[in-house]
Structure 1
């Protein structure tokens, strides 16, 4: 058991700190986060003071690293290990298979640490493909949990029903060796774009290419002339590229005769629905339905971060718009992490109550 009898967590593949920040909001002490991307370090540590960023390739990290360097105890009922590994291999988004193949077995590497530390709780978040691909390592991981006598539950959740205003479907798993587990209950209604961005929420109207040097980071990518004209011709609040499909100057050759393919590309977001899934390319209108509902521009860095539920005072320090967008797009939405953290607190109380009742009945 931990000396303080309070939760402590290690966040594997922590990136810029989305899951870490959410767990901290729920009152959980996150001791450290591990990531191979050094560009995330300043963002992670400056926004999560007291939590250590460990720059390392997990495949080269020894099992006892946390035991020796962070005083993490083995077999600690209050220890939470979080594994939100990069997911290119299992993603439906087109990517280099060779490059993505390196991410395929990271859950297996995470399993190595779960086996060594035998924590009270395990959290895993990933793309839905982890559960559906025939060559997934998930069955192996679940078999491992069962052999270690962990109880677990996993689901494909749409985070728009968990306070995150985007249609972001993710694989989510919670496991514990202390008792029964369950995932957070969904909200009855989806979170909507209109409740997070726009002038009513402090986002002033700006033009494409606007540069915001303040910490608010309401910076927007530039648009070339033809893309600006395409967007000006796209109807507000959900319009698509089909509005200019018959314009010989504006139509893209690759979409001629393909009105039903990739219809979100160059499309505008809708105020009264969740946004598209925020990816690392959310600042580019050519990467999906990422154009502002009514302004002639793509999403700003702060708008993308807000749709990921990062608070407005979370400052991204990747050094440029592209790096900051990558940190934001790769993150676990903090609000989902917060809800998982509150659930862990609830489960812990339930387990404690069960143990007390069993003792009193003896």
Structure 2
């Protein structure tokens, strides 16, 4: 028995700028609301996802019956999906602010409170791989909680999103759980080949050549961060299509003291991407060549805001309503890639008895 995709409704917790919401909507799921503490995400989320209401709230303080009272959400709805892609600094390998990191540790426990109250048909979770390996992880508690609430149908794995239509090497923990035991649920199928940058960026894909510091005032936002004179020299000496900081390591004018004798550390910093490989993980700092391998394969600049969004598979008409490069990049880098979210939605829609 195939369920109609029109029946499914979802609430997207920790929604940010709306990557998960966008993908689920592309799959045909009605995302009735997104919840996030970040006020800067509201305008972007609601502008691009009409009929999905942004709830600015701290999940720890949001009352369990909020959606029952304000959106007529009922408990035990087999066609309701609760999505919890919580911030994950605590389990990330990337160095982050320690205080913020600790605060992010138990957000899944707060999310579980809503699962317990509404007992939706489906639960989706996306997080960093460290949530499976960290000895202090909340995951064992969360899985036991799901089982206690009747979610015997649980599947999860670490996925590399370059095998799911997303042109970046982005490994993530992905979970689908269903309370409906007779359903057959599966993860999205892997593609036969990885997605590569050439198929998404470059002039053939609608990205004209631009210099560092280019400001695009249109909604397309093909905007790039400026570079100092010395960083312009560094990127110009970095070989096209995958070059690295080792291309100028022996140039005393360009070499950074912090890298001398440390060739095995931060190898990707100041590097260029490859046309025929996936991009590295798009972080919130992708607009800066000093924060990773974020140099354009050919042009002497970091990738633009729109290029970063495209590597995250946001539609090209997705408008980022922010007031700075850093604020836009934060929404983009923190997002669940839309194409992977779409495929998760299709997996749920395709669940059958």
* TM-score (normalizing by structure 1): 0.94
CA positional deviation for 1:114: 0.3
Whole-angstrom distance in 2 between the partners of 1:128 and 1:260:
23
Give the structure 2 partner of residue 17 of structure 1: 18
Equivalent residue in structure 2 for 1:216, among 220, 225, 232? 220
Q: In structure 2, what is the equivalent of residue 325 of structure 1?
A: 329
Give the superposition deviation at 1:319: 1.5
**Does 2:178 correspond to 1:176?**
yes
Counterpart position of 2:160? 158
Residue 287, structure 1, aligned to residue 291, structure 2: yes
Counterpart of 2:98? 97
Q: Which residue of 1 aligns with 2:39?
A: 38
Distance of 1:72 and 1:318 partners within structure 2: 31
CA deviation string 1:34-57 (max 9, x = no partner)? 000010000000000011000000
Rounded to whole Å, the distance in 2 between the matches of 1:192 and 1:251 is 30
Contact 1:152 1:182 in 2 (8 A): no
> In structure 2, what is the Cα distance between the partners aligned to 1:101 and 1:181?
33
Corresponding residue for residue 192 of structure 2: 188
The CA deviation at 1:280 is: 0.2
CA distance, structure 1, for counterparts of residue 96 and residue 54 of structure 2: 28
CA-to-partner distance for each residue in 1:262-299, whole Å, 9 max, x for gaps? 11000000000000100000000000000000000001
Would the aligned equivalents of 2:284 and 2:329 in 1 still touch at CA under 8 Å? yes
Q: Distance in 2 between matches of 1:57 and 1:177?
A: 26
Q: Of residues 313, 324, 341 in structure 2, which corresponds to 1:337?
A: 341
For 1:51-200, list aligned pairs within 5 A.
51-150=52-151, 151-179=153-181, 180-200=184-204
Q: Distance in 2 between matches of 1:93 and 1:212?
A: 30
CA RMSD of aligned residues (A): 1.0
**Corresponding position of 1:358:** none
Native 8 Å contact 1:33 1:53 kept in 2: yes
Task: Give how far 1:260 is off.
Answer: 1.6
Q: How far apart are 1:181 and its partner, in Å? A: 2.2
Paired residues of 2:6 and 2:28 also in contact (CA < 8 A): no
1:10–1:81 contact (8 Å) kept in structure 2: yes
| Separation (CA, whole Å) in 2 of partners of 1:46 and 1:160 | 28
Give the Cα–Cα distance (whole angstroms) in 1 for the partners of residues 124 and 303 of structure 2: 31
Q: Which moved more, 1:27-36 or 1:4-13?
A: 4-13
Partner of 1:360: none
**Runs of 4+ deviating beyond 3 Å:** none
Going from structure 1 to structure 2, the CA distance change for 1:5 and 1:265 (only over 3 Å counts) comes to closer
Distance in 2 between residues matched to 1:260 and 1:130, nearest whole Å: 26
Provide the residue aligned with 1:201 in structure 2.
205
Shift of 1:148: 1.8
> How far does residue 5 in structure 1 lie from its aligned partner after superposition?
7.5
CA distance in 1, matches of 2:324, 2:100: 23
| Number of residues of Structure 1 aligned to a counterpart in Structure 2 | 346
Unmatched 5+ residue regions in structure 2? none
- How far residue 236 of structure 1 moved from its aligned partner, in angstroms, is 0.2
**31-40 vs 146-155, which deviates more?**
146-155
